[in-house]
A and B are shown apart, each in its own frame.
Chain A
């Protein structure tokens, strides 16, 4: 089937039916956002490459079972997120989700001024990069899913496997910490 299909689910079904062009289209749509999500989650290009390939490998294996019930983006990022979590667990011992939430909940999110407009654009990007890297794994994942992939809080909750309130809380604290980094004095 070489007909133009604009829906991700339709492309998946066409690809499972033997259309290589459908996969090319699907891959072109999602490779950038997926790769950046992984790269900013693990902060290591080699690891991001490995997880990126593993993610698509899982997609390939599951293509015959795919049913377009769920949004393709959510399904794809869920696979990538699970692989990233496995990577984090192998790298270092992690605090439990509840413990992490308790730590960040105890930190009051201070009211801040708007990000310093006087900072140069380059400095802003550098600080943003460092702020993201300084987040906990859960908050970083949540923040990147919001910024890079434009996911709603509900979608972030699905991808990360937590409740909506937990996802929203993580997002709020992540944004507050990033804003702190951007406005902090050098």
Chain B
């Protein structure tokens, strides 16, 4: 008898106990072994297996998405065009200018450990950001600011007048590669144009650089 089944709560009907006694002696038929096996097979809780299998797939998909976004972000940084100022510079000079000073490297945010050491050009404004891209943003922005700073420094260096340039525009620029004869001609030109002091400095320079040079008579007689 099933232990969960209570006895009937209502009173016995006439002759019920005698009938129940005879009924109880009937053969206790049971389902066959094959039927048992079919039912048990149906009842195997497959749902748990499916649930277990879904987690790794979901986790793997999310991880792959994050990885793909991070790689795309890095590739975009690497392939972005150089700034105009860098393109105008000589290749070696541009590389030298783009390379960050060693002292600046630790100042970059450490949130993106795979960031390349070479600073990238400034990123375009706020792309729709996956999680990994968001994490990479501070580093990229810092790299961009650094590159812009370097580019402006290059521009300033190109456009700012140097001391040599000042001297050239005033007619006193040294011409270190000139031959002694050419220097003699230069000195005579300065004398002819009334710039005696400049001509004397050139002459002194010529004598220092080429002490054995045989000066022409007109310059040999020139004294301060």
By a beta-carbon cutoff of 8 Å, the part of chain A in contact with chain B is: 6-8, 15-16, 18-20, 23-24, 27, 29-33, 35-36, 39, 49, 52-53, 56-57, 60, 64, 71-73, 112, 114-115, 121, 124-125, 128-129, 146-154, 168, 171-172, 175, 178-179, 182
Contact of A115 with B23 at beta-carbon distance under 8 Å, contacts A56-B42, A73-B5, A175-B16 already known? no
Tell me whether A178 and B30 are in contact (CB under 8 A).
Answer: no
Which B residues lie within 8 Å of A121 (CB)?
Answer: 25
B57 on interface, CB distance cutoff 8 Å: no
A103 to chain B, nearest CB (A): 20
**A-contacting 9-mer, from B31-39, B71-79, B103-111, B153-161:** B31-39
Which A residues lie within 8 Å of B40 (CB)?
Answer: 23-24, 27
Contact of A153 with B10 at beta-carbon distance under 8 Å, contacts A35-B30, A124-B22, A148-B23 already known? yes
A74 to chain B, nearest CB (A): 9
Tell me whether B8 and A152 are in contact (CB under 8 A).
Answer: yes
Of all chain B residues, which has the CB nearest A9?
B4
B96 on interface, CB distance cutoff 8 Å: no
Bin the interface of chain B by size. 35 or more
Contact pick for B29, options A29, A36, A146, CB 8 Å: A36
B45 on interface, CB distance cutoff 8 Å: yes
By a beta-carbon cutoff of 8 Å, the part of chain B in contact with chain A is: 1-10, 13-16, 18-20, 22-32, 35-36, 38-40, 42-45, 47-48
Contact of A72 with B4 at beta-carbon distance under 8 Å, contacts A32-B30, A49-B32 already known? yes
Tell me whether A7 and B45 are in contact (CB under 8 A).
Answer: no
**Alpha-carbon distance between A170 and B86 when the two chains are bound, in angstroms:** 101
**Alpha-carbon distance between A81 and B44 when the two chains are bound, in angstroms:** 24
Tell me whether A29 and B9 are in contact (CB under 8 A).
Answer: no
Contact pick for A171, options B13, B15, B29, CB 8 Å: B13
A-B contact list, 12 entries, CB within 8 Å: A7-B4, A30-B2, A32-B30, A56-B43, A121-B25, A146-B16, A151-B5, A152-B8, A153-B8, A168-B10, A175-B16, A182-B19
**Alpha-carbon distance between A16 and B29 when the two chains are bound, in angstroms:** 28
Of all chain A residues, which has the CB nearest B8?
A152
Of all chain B residues, which has the CB nearest A171?
B13
**Alpha-carbon distance between A20 and B43 when the two chains are bound, in angstroms:** 8
B114 to chain A, nearest CB (A): 41
**Alpha-carbon distance between A18 and B19 when the two chains are bound, in angstroms:** 42
A178 to chain B, nearest CB (A): 6
CB-CB nearest 9 A-B residue pairs: A18-B48, A152-B8, A147-B23, A56-B39, A23-B43, A18-B45, A35-B31, A152-B9, A153-B10
Tell me whether B31 and A31 are in contact (CB under 8 A).
Answer: yes
**Alpha-carbon distance between A35 and B1 when the two chains are bound, in angstroms:** 14
**Alpha-carbon distance between A178 and B19 when the two chains are bound, in angstroms:** 8
Contact of A147 with B20 at beta-carbon distance under 8 Å, contacts A27-B39, A35-B29, A52-B31 already known? yes
Which A residues lie within 8 Å of B45 (CB)?
Answer: 15-16, 18-20, 23
Tell me whether A33 and B26 are in contact (CB under 8 A).
Answer: no
